[in-house]
Structure 1
Amino acid sequence: MAGRYLPGMAGERVRERRLGLRWSQEELAAAAGVSRQSVAAVESGRQVPSVTAAIRLAAALGCSVEELFAPPGQDVYAPVMADEGRPEVGTPLAVARVGDNQVWAPLGESDGHGFALADAVWSDRGPQLLDGASVDGFVVAGCEPALGMAAAAAPGRGPGRLVVVHASSGRSLAAVAAGRAHAAVVHGPAGELPPVPEGVVRWELARWPVGLAHDGSAPALSEIGAGQVLIAHRDPQAGSQQALLRTLAAAGAPDHVTGPVVSGHLASARMTAAGQVAGGITTAAAAASVGLDFSPWEEHVVQLWVDRRFVEHPGMSTLLQTWCSPRVSAQLRRLGGYTLTGAGQEVNA
């Protein structure tokens, strides 16, 4: 049933609130007047605290007992993307917790060739959890195509699980600000990234060129800007869409682009390869993955922006370790178009 209580959900709330205060288990135990072993048992879901212990833990964490331990209601699930429409009944979903919020996102094909494993399906009452579903994990939103590769290499269950939601940089940052994602992937030219919100910590992931994928000769910028050819492009909040507008402006071309608005870089490249459009705004690696030519416009810095409350989340370290692992790094280099110098390093300025 949608919204049913799962063992361990309360423990994860305790853990996330503790990490938000940057406390160790020992520090929480001292503040609440309980043993460290009790804190560890509650966080792992092995132990339901006594009434007295629950009151003490809630007081130490600055919240009510109900916020920590009450079963969630039928209406606690929210979409990661606030503008997400209501799915059709039966749509497979990924489900996870971000702080006090339980969130869902439609689950598409994992790699374009097979079915992905769902946590829930949409019902008339909202997400209906499937048997064996995991609601733990680290929710990261962004348009980096290789996030799916990192998720596949990460654990399939537990707090180290990576839940990837594909969205533009702007929409991803909005999800983090709303408390519906732990982190967002943001990209843009060096020195021209969006303003960094307070309470966000950043790590570099890569650098790659943004430009136009095409099959054979590239359409002229004047044709693209005048809407004389169909171009697969992105929503206004996407870093690649902004690159398109800057490129057209620099060439003195109009910005009356016509064509479908697509969900991500791979979707743009695939639509171009299928001959549905004359070109697609995307990355060099996405174009190469489907055998297309590529005309670069800008080099973009790709960064992971994390809500400071979740810097110590197990999924955060899993993401960076997986991204920088020899297995993933080798595949990114094989794809081409990725510069990985500085990958995994915290950005201090």
Structure 2
Amino acid sequence: MKQDNNLCNNLKQTRIRLGMSQQDLAKFAGVSRQTISGVESGQYAPSTTVALRLAKALGCQVEDLFWLEPDTPEIEAIPSETMPTGEKLRLSLARVGGQWVAYPLIGNDGFRLEMIPADGEGDRQPDSTTIRVKLLDEPTKLHHTVVLAGCTPALSLWARATERWHPGLRVHWTSDNSMRALHRLCRGEVHIAGMHLYDSKTKQHNVPFVRAALKDTTAVLINLGIWAEGLLIESGNPLGLKTVADLVQPDVTIVNREQGAGSRQLLELTLQQAGIPFEAVKGFEQIVCGHLAVAQAVATGRASAGVSTASVATAFGLDFIPLHRSRYDLVILKPYLEEAPVQQLLSTLGHRRVLSQLEALGGYDTSQTGEVVATVEPKPVLPDLLC
């Protein structure tokens, strides 16, 4: 008997369930105890005769004891930028722009309220631009996946609601700030990027930043909602905060967002307009990632204030000082609009149930939700002029 790595068995479990020792089973099957031990450990593959004897002794069919592990298909995927190298990881997979992209299920990206099942596993090598992924699920299911990147928890709400109405659709959401989401879209890692950036020079939301980031593909901006953005403060406002000017008080400490976040951009712009140097605000360099992290810092007393949205303030029972009405848009490269899963997801934006969910969050204006608010063409490349 030779070892066969593809042969699986549950001989030990069946034997123990029947209250038999290895010696008992060996006696009934007419084989040695060493044979039983070798088969159970996978060290030996039994001959046809031995397999039939074991099945007879245990009162079952051979197929109940032994089976072949099916060959596991593999695919080649592009690793997302967030994937570390040199370790085997649980991965989620999606088809973006005609190629497979692998997303590591690590940190907050590995959970919703429960752990997210993996589509496959693999390890990224330092010098390789692709990764071999061993699939853990049916490949056909992976084609019906849309990948969202953005910071607002409303994206998760929208995704979960859509999956309920379209059971065959999967929505993979990663929490990224506005600039990071946009860059991931341009790198071909996601189908849709959510963003809320304001350009004070042009007085436009999002469009100037999309135009600057685009390479050679037209992008469409679809509105998710217009939200109130401002300072989250402790319930009851014990410090009596009213404007950003109060952030310089010696007993006030804030938390800030990372570079590229719309909330950080708003804080910087508001401080500049008030003539307040960044270094005058205690905690300006105390960075947290994500709207929920800002709220948790204020709710637990780690910070006196931080910039986020009215809906997040409501969810955490915090007071709110409005600073700006920000337009949150979904940026999609035009070719992706033709893909069936993307169409299916976007078709739910105008649904009354989605609008009701957004409105119930508080601080959301849904009057433009689902509307195309801009189409942005890439900058033309001018030919070099000969002197």
TM over 0.5: same fold? yes
Which ranges in structure 2 are unaligned for 5 or more consecutive residues?
A: 1-72, 125-130, 376-387
d(CA) in 2 for partners of 1:260 and 1:177? 29
- Structure 1 pair 112–170 and aligned structure 2 pair: CA distance change class (3 A): same
d(CA) in 2 for partners of 1:143 and 1:102? 20
**CA distances 1:327-347 after superposition (whole Å, capped 9, x unpaired):** 222122122100000110112
Question: SS at 2:232's partner residue?
Answer: strand
d(CA) in 2 for partners of 1:78 and 1:90? 13
d(CA) in 2 for partners of 1:71 and 1:115? 27
Q: 2:147 aligns with which of 135, 139, 142?
A: 139
Question: SS at 1:311's partner residue?
Answer: helix
Question: SS at 2:312's partner residue?
Answer: helix
Bigger mean CA offset, 334-343 vs 248-257 = 248-257
d(CA) in 2 for partners of 1:304 and 1:340? 14
1:226 offset after TM fit, Å? Answer: 8.6
d(CA) in 2 for partners of 1:332 and 1:111? 25
Calculate the TM-score normalised by the size of structure 2: 0.62
Bigger mean CA offset, 152-161 vs 96-105 = 152-161
Check conservation: 2:225, 2:364, Cα contact below 8 A.
yes
Q: 2:362 aligns with which of 325, 336, 339?
A: 336
Q: Which amino acid aligns with 1:167?
A: D
Partner of 2:269: 246
Check conservation: 2:75, 2:135, Cα contact below 8 A.
no
1:13-28 alignment to 2 at 5 Å?
none
The structure with more radius of gyration: 2
Calculate the TM-score normalised by the size of structure 1: 0.68
- Structure 1 pair 98–210 and aligned structure 2 pair: CA distance change class (3 A): same
Percent pairwise identity: 28
| Number of aligned positions between the proteins | 275
1:77 offset after TM fit, Å? Answer: 3.5
Partner of 2:229: 210
1:307 offset after TM fit, Å? Answer: 0.9
Q: Which amino acid aligns with 1:148?
A: S
Q: 2:176 aligns with which of 167, 174, 178?
A: 167
d(CA) in 2 for partners of 1:103 and 1:296? 39
Q: 1:97 aligns with which of 92, 95, 98?
A: 95
Q: Which amino acid aligns with 1:210?
A: E
Partner of 2:185: 176
1:122-161 alignment to 2 at 5 Å?
124=123, 129-131=135-137, 134-136=141-143, 137-155=145-163, 160-161=169-170
Question: SS at 2:303's partner residue?
Answer: coil
**CA distances 1:229-283 after superposition (whole Å, capped 9, x unpaired):** 4322222211111100011011111113535422221221122212222222211
Bigger mean CA offset, 214-223 vs 193-202 = 214-223
- Structure 1 pair 179–123 and aligned structure 2 pair: CA distance change class (3 A): closer
What root-mean-square deviation, in Å, do the aligned CA atoms of Structure 1 and Structure 2 show?
Answer: 3.2
- Structure 1 pair 312–237 and aligned structure 2 pair: CA distance change class (3 A): same
Bigger mean CA offset, 165-174 vs 220-229 = 220-229
Question: SS at 2:148's partner residue?
Answer: strand
d(CA) in 1 for partners of 2:204 and 2:253? 31
Partner of 1:309: 335
Is 1:72 matched with 2:75? yes
